[in-house]
Structure 1
Amino acid sequence: MTASVKEAGPGERAESDRRRRAAIVTVDDEPAVLAAIARDLRRNFGDRYRVLRAGGGEEALEMLRELRTRGDQVALLIADQRMPGLAGTEYLVQARQIVPDAKRVLLTAYADTEAAISAINEVNLDYYLLKPWDPPEEELYPVLEDLLAVWEAGAALEAGGVRVIGHRFSRETHELRDFLARNRVPARWLDIERDGEARELVAVAGVAPDRLPVALLEDGSVLERPSTLEIAERLGIAARPALDHYDLVIVGGGPAGLAAAVYGASEGLRTVMVEREAAGGQAGQSSRIENYLGFPRGLSGSELAARATTQARRLGAELLSVQEATALEVEGSGRFVRLSGGGSLSANCVLVASGVSYRQLDSPGFERLTGAGIYYGAAMTEARACKQQRVVVIGGANSAGQAAVHFSAFAAEVIMLVRGESLTSSMSTYLIEQIAKLPNIEVRTRSQAVAADGDGRLRELTIRGPDGTETAEPVDACFVFIGAAPHTDWLEGVVARDERGFILAGPDVPDERWPLKRDRDPYVLETSVPGVFVAGDVRARSVKRVASAVGEGSMAVTLIHEYLATA
């Protein structure tokens, strides 16, 4: 028997309107509960979404198949756990195969809390809600509004306002796609080799084959081989400072910089943050951060960065993207940060939160094939292209583990190359356990890639095993997560650093480099230059975790207040 798609509530809407709005599908075998949740959903979300209801799991699955066949979008699934025939978790497992992008929420009684927590891992549950959800303004709407905001952002990215056409195994194309994705610009990627639409668009636009990649903007503009700065300016990503002088200039838009921007702006400091690539920094490339406080299901690095960016802007912080700090100058009580785009930012205080980047492999072939099958970081834009392919992840820390788990959902096989004896010394236990449960991930310890080869794209890696034997193996893509190189060359001769380039702060500042010995010691996050602070991974002896970077960024603002009060 085929389920009919019925909206919860009276009245018929026009067919075009019905198709335009995405659906929220709720399922419960108790009519009174189903009517109550549908009523509350309709009251708060009915103007933006269709609210559909089903009296059982099988009926709901048939409804989802019908929606998918029609090409309709499903934003949110809400299911009761205790249903005869098909429990809520079982229904959500099957529903995920039909509408994989929909957010999933489980309704449960207090006695079933343990089952709900287990479901977070088992069915990739986004949230669970306890019944009753009264009052909905406090117990229901905030949670669902947050989930729907994340879904809407993802749907916008998939729909795409910018069309990028190029070769998949092109460094320039990869850099453009990655830049747009990390800045959460809605964009659609078209492969010139595989997509007939791409070839037609290139012909219509009159773009020569040697001028790819090309970006087609919504206003009709055609940008051939655009630089990141050029496309950022055209899309309004890059901005110019609004003020002549600031209380606080933050260099770097990773977790530490974003936290400082939030706290600085919220506490009345005129705050500006400068980021050379995209908000989130290295953490923004993480496919899934599962041990960050307050997010039981975890969240992606880009999602965390987007939330923090919105929060900082709402509180009044300025964010300057695609700008790189090139020098720090100290003139009396003034601090000046020179920018790559020209000009400088004047401030009372500077916070260096410029973070680190993955160290480049100097093995033969790696530099030549970077962007053409070899990538540094998670390169989330490449994940779907790895479907049923053989992928290698190099590294043994959390970032490598998160990437391996993410790519395992697409690739036929994921091989982790780890130089150490095991993962236990460098990776969180929860990740090690996840990796052990995934049959298509192979962990090779005491192993490393010593060469890469290919005909314009990566084809094989030469891998040295534990016994020293080297073998050439076919590989479709390789993602590198090794070491950490700090972005501090622009501070050469101004701020004290250790032998690896990490910034010294607080008690680590050498006495001979501290100019205020007679007055006070440097604050715990203060560098060798008074009024210049450091936070996050770029600080010497820092803990390389997102939560600690956020903590340091917020703590730095408190120390900056102390400095300003006594300066």
Structure 2
Amino acid sequence: MTERRPDPVILLVGTPTSADSLEAEFSTRYGRDYDIVSVVGPEAAADEVDRLCAGGRAIALIGVDFQIDGGAPELLDRLRVVTPTSRRLVLIAFAEFFRATEVLRPTLAAGHIDTYLIIPQGPRDEEFHTAIVEYLSDWAVSAATSEVTGVQIVEDGAQPEVAGIRDFLDRMGLPYTRYRPDTETGRQVLEQVGRGAALPVVVAFGRPPLVGATAGSVASLMYGSPADLGEDHVADLVVVGAGPAGLAAAVYGASEGLTTVVLDAGAVGGQAGTSSMIRNYLGFPRGVSGMRLAFRARLQATRFGARMFTGREVVGLRPGGVHEIVHRDGVVRGRAVLLACGVHYRRLGVEPLEDLVGAGVHYGAATGIAREMEGREVFIVGGGNSAGQAAIHLARFARHVTIVIRRSGLEDTMSAYLIDEIATNRRITVRPGSRVVDGGGAGRLEWIALAADDGSVEREPADGLFLLLGADPGCGWLPDAVLRDDRGFVLTGRDLPVHAWPDGAPPAPLETSVPGIFAAGDVRAGSMKRVASASGEGAGAVAQVHAHLAPAPE
């Protein structure tokens, strides 16, 4: 029988008058699943964190009374160095709220704390506990080892496909455990499929083991195939891409009575789904991870009847009265099509590093890999918001994170709130005027070479390289009839040349040069390249689809 791991810790730091009440509030709600540890004052808190960490205990959350001596933000910033994965909250007495918020707003913007909350004034303060649960859940997903067996992966560490499988499972919110072939579980699985079976082998939800698994085959195992729709199925709306634009279209399309099918080459969420924390999305004052945002949208869409198929790379489109969308394993037909396939990261083009993709080199944030970077040297290439969010997340685990950019700074490409937080994080360094030109290692990444603007080249030890290099439209498979700009982004509405307007009138704002084919989100020329704007375009496209499908007036 496997020995049970100790419960994670919630550490509360109070004053002599508040410590007991804080402990009582948390013990009542969370005492079953967490060890509630309460101390008085900053020095006792620092000693307790040192003791817990020395004993290998995981600290999920630290809540500090605003009124402690020396300042709550200052203490939490000190403790962040010792336990960087812990969520950091300042707890404010009701009478102190207005004074406290003036002090805490700058520290919140700079990332010294995760949030501040008013201490409950009575029973059933559900708003307070909703925030606590959100932070505990975020910690569990990003920093804790899963307590649920879920999906079993048998691999020996030599299969680069495992990184893609893990990223897919992380982004879909599916817990998994990895086993070596010589473990008890590994041997049991291999006995089912034969000792010579190609690794990795994946077992999930009582289904037959999947031999030589890839992210795409795991997606099919979990969520089925478009073939399940039947040969004669014609959808009202086929959405290509399950990022924010595609998910919004799926929710609004299905909720308004359109039979809706969504195809995506990867996991639901698109590039936004890889973001560890989106803090500027409307309606989420405490931020939301891309994975959780995508999970909630997927749940909404499927509850309204939308069908979603992941791991289905679209390779062609045949326009007609009924449009045919060609994917790797067949064809899906629809009366209207929404192109919401977003963008993909540009390749680095350094051959020795391309050979190590999945073995220390990763395209995108690969948030599920972050835990393996604990105590290691990590480099991120890219200066956009995704790179900034990845750096902050990886800094919870890595010894040091270096952001490599060709520009002289981040100001032109990254949101100010991320720049401010990066500037105050002692584990993150920005290296401007540099690019990666070489790298290597014995079977996995061990070093990279960085070239500066003056031509000098430095070799640096590296355990992880995350490439977020800018975006190219993911629609090279479109036919010539769908017009695009010089960079390959899809033209819509009045951006189309006049000769492409049907009957001399401009198409609908999100309609392409082919009637009944629409575009929304990052793939559309002129879009804002933000999660909120993509969601708005996806929702807005549904109204235009309805207009296209409506019977012509007599």
Same fold per TM (> 0.5)? yes
1: CA distance, partners of 2:407 / 2:285: 30
For structure 1, list consecutive stretches of 5 or more residues without a partner in the other structure. Answer: 1-17
Q: Secondary structure at the match of 1:537?
A: helix
Comparing 537-546 with 54-63, which one deviates more in the overlay? 54-63
**Counterpart of 1:508?**
495
Once the two structures are TM-superposed, the CA of residue 97 in structure 1 deviates from its matched residue by 5.9
**Counterpart of 2:302?**
313
1: CA distance, partners of 2:475 / 2:23: 54
Matched ranges for 1:255-334 at <5 A? 255-332=244-321, 334=322
Once the two structures are TM-superposed, the CA of residue 535 in structure 1 deviates from its matched residue by 0.8
Q: Are the counterparts in 2 of residues 169 and 373 from structure 1 also a CA contact under 8 Å?
A: no
Flag the 1:132–1:337 CA change in 2: closer, same or farther, 3 A: same
2: CA distance, partners of 1:524 / 1:477: 43
Q: 1:524 aligns with which of 500, 503, 509?
A: 509
For structure 2, list consecutive stretches of 5 or more residues without a partner in the other structure. Answer: none
Equivalenced residues, count: 539
Q: TM-score, normalised on structure 2?
A: 0.81
Once the two structures are TM-superposed, the CA of residue 525 in structure 1 deviates from its matched residue by 1.3
**Counterpart of 1:337?**
325
Flag the 1:79–1:536 CA change in 2: closer, same or farther, 3 A: same
Q: 1:560 aligns with which of 523, 545, 553?
A: 545
**Counterpart of 1:179?**
168
The answer to whether residue 450 in structure 2 is matched with residue 463 in structure 1 is yes
2: CA distance, partners of 1:199 / 1:20: 23
Once the two structures are TM-superposed, the CA of residue 115 in structure 1 deviates from its matched residue by 3.7
2: CA distance, partners of 1:504 / 1:46: 53
2: CA distance, partners of 1:19 / 1:420: 46
Once the two structures are TM-superposed, the CA of residue 92 in structure 1 deviates from its matched residue by 9.8
Comparing 87-96 with 335-344, which one deviates more in the overlay? 87-96
**Counterpart of 1:432?**
419
**Counterpart of 1:547?**
532
Once the two structures are TM-superposed, the CA of residue 222 in structure 1 deviates from its matched residue by 4.1
**Counterpart of 1:533?**
518
Once the two structures are TM-superposed, the CA of residue 354 in structure 1 deviates from its matched residue by 0.4
Q: TM-score, normalised on structure 1?
A: 0.80
Matched ranges for 1:27-176 at <5 A? 80-82=65-67, 90=75, 100=85, 104=89, 106-109=91-94, 110-111=97-98, 112-118=100-106, 120=108, 125-130=113-118, 136=124, 139-140=127-128, 142-144=130-132, 146-147=134-135, 150=138, 157=146, 159-168=148-157, 170-176=159-165
1:470-505 CA-to-partner distances (Å, cap 9, x unmatched) read 343332221111131212123222311123321111
2: CA distance, partners of 1:34 / 1:245: 63
Q: Are the counterparts in 1 of residues 379 and 402 from structure 2 also a CA contact under 8 Å?
A: yes
Flag the 1:96–1:136 CA change in 2: closer, same or farther, 3 A: farther
**Counterpart of 2:486?**
499
Root mean square deviation, CA, Å: 4.1
Q: 2:463 aligns with which of 476, 482, 487?
A: 476
Q: Secondary structure at the match of 1:253?
A: coil
1: CA distance, partners of 2:80 / 2:448: 39
What amino acid does structure 2 have at the position aligned with 1:542? Answer: S
Q: Secondary structure at the match of 2:352?
A: coil
Q: Secondary structure at the match of 2:503?
A: coil
Flag the 1:344–1:218 CA change in 2: closer, same or farther, 3 A: closer
2: CA distance, partners of 1:161 / 1:198: 20
Q: Secondary structure at the match of 2:218?
A: helix
Once the two structures are TM-superposed, the CA of residue 102 in structure 1 deviates from its matched residue by 6.2
2: CA distance, partners of 1:249 / 1:350: 5
Once the two structures are TM-superposed, the CA of residue 542 in structure 1 deviates from its matched residue by 1.8
1: CA distance, partners of 2:539 / 2:285: 22
2: CA distance, partners of 1:389 / 1:410: 8
1:236-269 CA-to-partner distances (Å, cap 9, x unmatched) read 4667448934332211111111122223333443
Q: Are the counterparts in 1 of residues 89 and 117 from structure 2 also a CA contact under 8 Å?
A: no
**Counterpart of 2:242?**
253
Flag the 1:92–1:481 CA change in 2: closer, same or farther, 3 A: closer
Q: Are the counterparts in 2 of residues 377 and 480 from structure 1 also a CA contact under 8 Å?
A: yes
